[in-house]
Amino acid sequence: MIGRRASRVHRAGVGSTLARAWLPLAHEVGRGVLRRGNQPARPSFAEWDAEPSFSDATWVIGQPPGSLLGEAPMRLVGGSRVTATRMEYVTTDARGRTITATGAYLRSHSPWRGGPRPVIGFAPSTQGVAPHCDPSFSMSVGMSVSLRGPVDIVASYELPAITAMLAAGAHVVLTDYPRDPDFGWQLYCDHPSGGNALLDALRAARHLGLPLSAPIGLWGFSQGGAAVGMALERASYAPDIAPVAAVIGAPPARLDAVLAHVDGSLVTGVLSYAVAGLMVASADIRAEILGALTREGLDHFTADIATCAVSSVFTSGWRGTHRWTHQGVPLGELLDDLPHVAAEFDARALGRASPTVPVLLWGSRHDDVVPIAQVRELRAAWRRQGADLTWFEDRTPRIPGRTGANHFGPYYRHLARHVGWLLDELRR
């Protein structure tokens, strides 16, 4: 396993009584934010009227992971030769609980050259944790802007990758990532839960006609890269899903280091997403985090998780988080020093096991979101365990401003090459 960085903060005592007193507020924050994030803004997005109506995330009893619970046709921007279906299915979170998740099965009608037509399990990069940011919905919108209340921008920036795969004749199955049924918050960067949800989405698509014989590839960048990595490390979860190869780009293998790296950048809002994904993990983690946050920190948190990723630049972009904590230290540093949070960081770290299929692993030398050091460490950890890795490192010069350009720019720059690598592996 890749070790956590050493803590640089000495934790000030926060009384457990005070911390736990915040728990009712946490629940109200969660429910209130989802109401504010969904319903008031909804009328300004005309396309939302056509959104399939699935129930909120719920606990599931008596149905195995991969069970299909619901389906509805969806519109895919730029998908003229595609049958697109949004689906609701059963998955398992990192704590072994069965819950619902949503995703999409995109069936290509373009010709495929070479062997059986494959399917690519697609784990999206960070879109935002509000329900209207889910890729299975945003792909039907493309891009839309709401100016009611906080500026909110839905942008489906994974469409170039997905449409390239579909145009080549490969089917695509994607996950939106599951949500905690009690709070409604996405299990953000909960890599074990994300990996499970991706594999279960492939299982669910079989109920919609995906052939059992279809060769399976996996694809993930950033948040999605870590989900794919965890799915490969925990292959025993779904032995009936046997990937042939995978592309993993800039995975946040050590989430704590990523949070420290992005603090004060244009994408500071991802810290709020991470906080939401951590707080739903346990009551102890909620108590630790809520006991550490100031009112200003809570305000940024609620604003960020109600809007999509592009919109977070208006709420938290280029703001440091030292004013979010009672100690006056950046949030990422403080989280790493909270014992229950630190244990959760360790549980999500990649590198404990290695993939057993060929993997193209890549990172960017000057990545301003996911530090290249941890991607190189993951490469070393996997190779020590015998992984069949193809390594690629982007050397684009550093772009000033900490805008995320050194993170997303290389993704699009090398997209055709990396999609081609995966498709070639699926033709073997």
Task: Give the model confidence (pLDDT) of 363-382 as tens digits.
Answer: 999 999 999 999 999 999 99
10-14, 160-164, 370-374, 397-401: which range is least confident on average? 10-14
% of the chain at pLDDT higher than 70: 87
pLDDT of residue 313: 87
Q: Closest Cα to residue 416, out of 50, 164, 226, 225?
A: 164
Tell me the two tokens of residue 296. 């200003």
Burial (Cβ within 10 Å: 0-12, 13-18, ≥19) of residue 365: middle
pLDDT of residue 144: 83
* DSSP-derived secondary structure letter, 398: P
Q: What is the mean pLDDT of residues 375-390?
A: 98
CA angle 91/97/101 to nearest 5° reads 30
Distance of CA 138 to the CA centre of its chain: 14
Cβ 307 vs Cβ 315: under 8 Å? yes
Task: Give the model confidence (pLDDT) of 349-363 as tens digits.
Answer: 999 999 999 999 999
Cβ 394 vs Cβ 364: under 8 Å? yes
Cβ 224 vs Cβ 175: under 8 Å? no
pLDDT of residue 147: 77
Instruction: Give residue 237's identity as a one-letter amino acid code.
Output: Y
pLDDT of residue 79: 79
Cα 330 to Cα 337: distance, rounded to the nearest angstrom: 11
Asked whether the predicted pLDDT for residue 15 surpasses 80, the reply is no
pLDDT of residue 80: 83
pLDDT range class, residue 53, cuts 50, 70, 90: low
Q: What is the mean pLDDT of residues 94-113?
A: 97
Cα 86 to Cα 75: distance, rounded to the nearest angstrom: 9
pLDDT range class, residue 37, cuts 50, 70, 90: very low
CA angle 214/66/241 to nearest 5° reads 35
Cβ 57 vs Cβ 97: under 8 Å? no
Strand partners, 103: 87, 175
Cβ 399 vs Cβ 405: under 8 Å? yes
Domains of the chain plus CATH, in order, are: 42-255+345-427 (3.40.50.1820)
Task: Give the model confidence (pLDDT) of 229-275 as tens digits.
Answer: 999 999 999 999 999 999 999 999 999 999 999 999 999 999 999 99
What is the phi/psi pair of residue 426, to 5°? -75, -15
Tell me the two tokens of residue 39. 């319903």
Cβ 277 vs Cβ 187: under 8 Å? yes
Asked whether the predicted pLDDT for residue 160 surpasses 60, the reply is yes
Asked whether the predicted pLDDT for residue 308 surpasses 60, the reply is yes
Cβ 101 vs Cβ 58: under 8 Å? no
Asked whether the predicted pLDDT for residue 58 surpasses 60, the reply is yes
